[in-house]
Amino acid sequence: MALVADILLIAGALGAAFYCVVLSRRLSRFSSLEQGVGGAVSALSTQVAEMTETLERTQAAARESSASLEDSTRRAETAARNLELLLASMHDIPTQSAPEAAPRSGGPEFRRNTAAFRRREAAE
């Protein structure tokens, strides 16, 4: 009976050793940097660094655009104020009368011989 118990104990120890070897191999593949979760974590870490850099560049560009937009807005408001002043000052200028018709020159005069023209000449 002791011999059977020793054989079962040795078989259990060999089974546990085999199980430990299998787990060790799986764990090494799991944590390798080129494959498995280690590789995924490494790739994600690189992507996070790239995204952080891109975000910083985008924020800097947005700040520049905002400053440029504020400057353009200030210039537009100044121009609008100047235009309002010009329009207000235009009300102070007296209006000029329309220029009178230029006198006819002594040159040739061309007219159509139509019924409406004849009626107009008769009325003059």
Cα dihedral: 69, 75, 79, 84 (round 10): 80
* pTM score of the predicted model: 0.43
Please give the pLDDT value at position 6. Answer: 93
d(CA 122, CA 29) in angstroms, rounded, equals 115
C-alpha distances out from residue 15 to 18, 19, 20, 23, Å: 5, 6, 9, 12
Q: For residues 71 and 74, give the distance between their C-alpha atoms in angstroms, rounded to a whole number.
A: 5
Q: 44-96: per-residue pLDDT in tens?
A: 999 999 999 999 999 999 999 999 999 999 999 999 999 999 988 887 777 77
Q: What is the pLDDT of residues 12-25, one digit of tens each?
A: 999 999 999 999 99
Q: How far apart are CA 77 and CA 70, in angstroms?
A: 10
Identify the sign of the CA torsion 86, 87, 88, 92.
positive
pLDDT (0 to 100) of residue 119: 77
